[in-house]
Amino acid sequence: MKDLYSFDKDEAGLDESYAKMYDAYNRIFSRCGLVYRAVEADPGAIGGSGSHEFMVTAATGEASIAFCSGCHYAANTEKAEGKPSVGISQGVLENEIEKVLTPGVRTIADLSRFLTVAATEIFKTVVYEAVYSDHVENVVVVIRGDQDINEIKLKNHLDCLHLLMATDDTIFKFTGTQAGFVGPVGLSQVRLILDPTAAAMEEGVSGANEKDYHFRHVRPDRDLGSFETVDIRTVQPGDFCPHCSRPMDIARGIEVGHIFKLGKKYSEALEAVFLDENGKEQTMIMGCYGIGVTRTIAAAIEQNHDDQGIIWPVPIAPFHVIVVPISSKDPQHREYAERLYDALNEAGIETILDDRNERPGVKFKDADLLGIPLRVTVGRKTVEEEIYELRVRKTGQDLALSLPQLLSEIKRIVEPDQ
């Protein structure tokens, strides 16, 4: 890791330091030739008032990110907000709540089939234990049946130390039934939280807190009493952006950088103070910024490879060019290859020479495997006509060039801005 910390006298100073590091990280990853996104993120255990992750998009990424191509909103799905693409189910408001027998029906999918209702018409109810330093609180969470609970959002809202799924004994103690038949109607001694997707349902199906029974025609405003409405859902592909209302996409990403607005969390604990212009002690305002150096290299490979091996982005390739003489035993091939190797290095082009006594096919395969951006082959045409064969690893393009043309083309690819 490369770590950096900022110390400012006020929030305005932190905002300025944070913006500078945000811009610097964007320039770094752009210059590395990576396809990435800076996304809003949950600070997690580090804490603070704001956080961004820099995510390299790759199918093997450990995290999911939601992003909008319209307004460039992007966030880790642990934090992302969005409006469901599926509309709110509309009930028949004059129906009274009705208990129905549902033997052995415990999952949303089974309940949907058994009662012939859509998942959007079902209240999904989950019981949690929120663990604090001095007590444990039981929490019942309700979300629409087609949605998933985001436990990071829930834990942040509860501000607890740990969030655990309730045990069977706890579920029975507070609901009188077992998981699969729990519902929000008639519960007491528990904290009840509804996601907006559930709170907006005019009516739906829920567990009846009795084994093998569910309720039909449950209405939050009529049947649930007091509850909190909190966004605790995980965004899904096609959800509408909270800023511009366009559909969002979901992608996998590898975290290569993370920046935090720490505020006073650590400086207060460490009594890190300074004297202001009036001679009064003030607590420092902190920021924290980190880049995963080796992670960035690994992410670049995940994003740039094919069946033959690595395809290094030019800015971070270990070498720009590999020079391959067809025969290292041939003195002329070797002489031309070494001369070119020296000329390229003297020109500031990082070059490696494959002077092994191997067949050309082996050398070409290894050059592809290593992923050096450019390969120059020195052979008979080089000796007889001074023509070099240049292959671009990324595109597979082959060019036959004279020495001046070769040097010009290599510099154009390696130093595009010069």
Q: What is the CA radius of gyration of the chain?
A: 30
How large is the average pLDDT for residues 189-218? 94
How large is the average pLDDT for residues 89-104? 80
Indicate the class that CATH gives domain 98-229: alpha beta
Per the CB < 8 A criterion, the answer to whether 77 and 234 are in contact is yes
Instruction: Estimate to the nearest angstrom the gap between the alpha carbon of 138 and the chain centroid.
Output: 31
- Report in angstroms the alpha-carbon separations of 210 from 106, 116, 119, 181: 12, 21, 21, 6
Kind and range of the H or E run holding 41: none
Residue 59 predicted with pLDDT over 80: yes
Residue 90 predicted with pLDDT over 80: no
Domain with CATH 3.30.930.10 in the chain: 2-77+237-302
Write out pLDDT tens, residues 149-164: 999 999 999 999 999 9
Write out pLDDT tens, residues 212-264: 999 999 999 999 989 999 999 999 999 999 999 999 999 999 999 999 999 99
Domain with CATH 3.40.50.800 in the chain: 314-414
Share of the chain above pLDDT 90, in %: 89
CATH assignment, 314-414: 3.40.50.800
Write out pLDDT tens, residues 253-264: 999 999 999 999
How large is the average pLDDT for residues 391-401? 96
Confidence of residue 361 (pLDDT cuts 50, 70, 90): very high
pLDDT at 255: 96
Confidence of residue 328 (pLDDT cuts 50, 70, 90): confident
Write out pLDDT tens, residues 294-326: 999 999 999 999 999 999 999 999 999 999 999
Fold that domain 2-77+237-302 belongs to in CATH? BirA Bifunctional Protein; domain 2 (3.30.930)
Write out pLDDT tens, residues 3-53: 999 999 999 999 999 999 999 999 999 999 999 999 999 888 888 888 999
pLDDT at 91: 52
pLDDT at 382: 93
Per the CB < 8 A criterion, the answer to whether 407 and 418 are in contact is no
How large is the average pLDDT for residues 169-179? 89
Domain with CATH 3.90.960.10 in the chain: 98-229
pTM to 2 decimal places: 0.81
Nearest alpha-carbon partner for 373 in 327, 304, 297: 304
As a whole number of angstroms, the distance between CA 256 and CA 28 comes to: 11
